Structure 1
């Protein structure tokens, strides 16, 4: 907790920290909406095949004018399994005899049906989208998922190639500068924080010697230079990296699966998006309370489990129960925001300062891989309509169980070096051995 002593002198939570959070918030406001735009720009409106007797003004088989539009639709478009007009097929010729059938049984065969060879007619109440522009429906519907995949692939590539730019919307971490033995720069950053926080007198007292004396133990441990391979060389860090990366992958595949596929929930997308915006801030505050009250492991287990259950429940609730579906989808969005924040907090507290940025970058790449693959899951609807949502629902539940394999970090100091992680492991092992000894002695 040596660095905390220095931080208390310059202001642990003041104007400087608030400004930093505002800068991060502005960046998120600019970037995050782009991931959600395709709920509107790629919305799939109601559609059916183009047929001459309905959609060609110059050709009419209804010259007498006695047939309604519904009658013409009945003889032109077959019914699907839900007894609704098929979206992807039409009759080769109008089936006039269907107008005289009281039931649904007819002598129509597959040879009387063909795909939409002349294009589609879309619901005019829906705004212009890329789906209507390029006819991304029926056999081409998977291209919608490919478009989302392409966008998120760019995000993944950007995370890999441009990660080093992230330290350029922000001040360098004074803690990291100290443990990497860059004392002069760390002193400059600490004095800057003290000045912005209105604690100039405390900043003037800080000197290289004060920093060196306060952080003596950490500086001695940092003499051994950390590298990328340290994350995988030691068993405890290797385990943490694997588990954290897997949890991040499972979390983001579900978060993006929900957020970019709202239209597939068959609810009011505009209302749902507004509700998500309303609950986002309270949701993150709820996450902070849960993390501080229940600890990192149990709170994440509950958050991720509720997130997964909300997704599953939303999809399996009957479509007629629109209010229930809307409430469950909103809960899913709420827990998705909380899940993202809680996994980030836990990962930060489990990794040593000297190599934390690199480790978080690698974990972030796995999260980006999960978000990139997420839209492709929708292609699986061609095999089983509920399969993508089962994947989105089960993934966070599995992630919550994996979190239990990680250590608790509530009220524990942040590790500054790989040596701190190994020291923590030795202390834990000695405590277990001592506990075992006491039990055996009592017996």
Structure 2
């Protein structure tokens, strides 16, 4: 129940903090999320009772969403298209390293209160160094702050030892280079823009199914670490160890084969491994095999989209304009959080039918793999600037069934 309450906080954070990121900026929301994670984590460590523990964890879950959404937007809006996959891979390796370190820290600090405090205090350090990060220049321009965007770009040019090129940047040529996106801006957008046109509605629906299924299955695995009859610390290390080669394979796959095919294959294989775990008993040799097979499952699921950054890249490269990207990211993340909330509740069914939870957990990625098959491929495609561009680029997905759009999309 505490896990479901925590995931409910992550859901609320996706709904609330996603919109605030669009209003106040990606960097500002990232810094606020760091502060909230540090404060709420510290309060959790000193929670006097179960009710206050759940309240603090709920607030910490909200901050986690703000962190994930802000990082995802900064990556998409700063990193050029050819280098986006490798950048996501590097952030993924950092996440994996954290998983491995967590096993060692938890072994050294066995009491949960001191462990909670130990992993919460570093967020105050992250808050301090986040002042150095650069705000999204794209967001600044689209928010009417072109002068500030020029200063940010010139600072980045100096860091990259391209000072002369940076000094040539002016408000006029910056607006000229983004004239298509600026021309596509409406005075205001609404949530209905995510479902108003056929292609964006199609993409948004498919990605929502995928995101729900990934989170649903991932957290079913995360809650099952203690049920294999072997050391929970060892299983955690195995998870991290298999994650490194898995992320290398996935990075190469999404860079050269394509994002759609990579997502379909990993989701389908993940579903099969979950279902296969029905036939693995706990304890002894079978328990170790169950742990290893679950580690393999983790290797399949995590690179295909769990933490939010990886699937966020897939979502944000399909949607035009900063507002729709952020709103779509927020609602897609909301679907993932719904999956995280439901996952612990489905686990309760094993008291009556032990085979039922893994069957349900395994069916979800298979269904998601089918949904992913209906997505367009965005490999080496620039970010779309307008709704009309998305609709024309993938016209074959619309109601008119035009074949020109299919050829243009390279599918």
Q: Deviations over 1:188-219 (max 9, x none)?
A: 22112112222111110111122122223332
CA RMSD of aligned residues (A): 3.8
CA-to-aligned-CA distance 1:198-256 (integer Å, 9 cap, x gap): 21111101111221222233322225543433222222222222221221111101001
Deviations 1:336-363 (A, max 9, x none): 2112255232112111232211210111
Partner of 1:408: 377
Paired position in structure 2 for 1:398 = 367
Structure 1: gaps of 5 or more residues: 1-19, 35-133, 135-142, 437-443
Higher relative contact order (CA 8 A, sep 6+): 2
Q: Is the 1:149–1:376 contact (alpha carbons within 8 Å) kept by the matching residues of 2?
A: no
- 3-state DSSP class of the match of 2:377? coil
Aligned counterparts of 1:216 and 1:321: Cα–Cα separation in 2: 61
Per-residue displacement from partner, 1:114-161 (whole Å, max 9, x unpaired)? xxxxxxxxxxxxxxxxxxxx9xxxxxxxx9xx9999887656655689
Residues 266/398 of structure 1: CA separation in 2 closer, same or farther (3 Å cut)? farther
Q: What SS class does the counterpart of residue 351 from structure 1 fall into?
A: coil
Structure with the higher fraction of residues in helix conformation: 2
Match status 1:311 vs 2:280: no
1:339 to 304, 308, 314: 304
Classify 1:416/1:152 alpha carbon distance in 2 versus 1 (closer, same or farther; 3 Å). farther
C-alpha separation in 2, matches of 1:150 and 1:336: 29
Task: After TM superposition, give the deviation of residue 297 of structure 1 in Å.
Answer: 1.1
Give the aligned partner of residue 260 of structure 1.
223
CA–CA separation in structure 1 for the residues paired with 2:266 and 2:60? 26
Task: Point out the more displaced range, 427-436 or 325-334.
Answer: 427-436
TM-score by length of 1: 0.59
Change (3 A) 1:149 1:238: farther
**1:229 aligns to 2:172 (yes or no):** no
- 253 and 150 in structure 1: CA distance in 2 versus 1, 3 angstrom threshold: farther
Distance 1:349 1:435 in 2: 17
Count, aligned residues? 302
Is the 1:183–1:208 contact (alpha carbons within 8 Å) kept by the matching residues of 2?
A: yes
Partner of 2:337: 368
Cα distance in 2 for residues equivalent to 1:262 and 1:326: 8
| C-alpha distance in structure 2 between counterparts of 1:380 and 1:147, whole Å | 27
**TM-score when normalising by structure 2:** 0.63
Give the 3 Å change call, closer, same or farther, for CA 343–227 of structure 1 in structure 2.
same
Specify which of 265, 290, 303 is matched with residue 325 of structure 1: 290
Contact 1:258 1:333 in 2 (8 A): yes
Matches of 1:432 and 1:161 in 2, distance apart? 39
Preserved contact between residue 270 and residue 301 of structure 2 (Cα < 8 Å): yes
The runs of 5 or more residues in structure 2 that have no matched partner are: 1-26, 42-48, 75-126, 407-411
CA contact (8 A) 2:267 2:366 kept: yes
Greater C-alpha Rg: 1
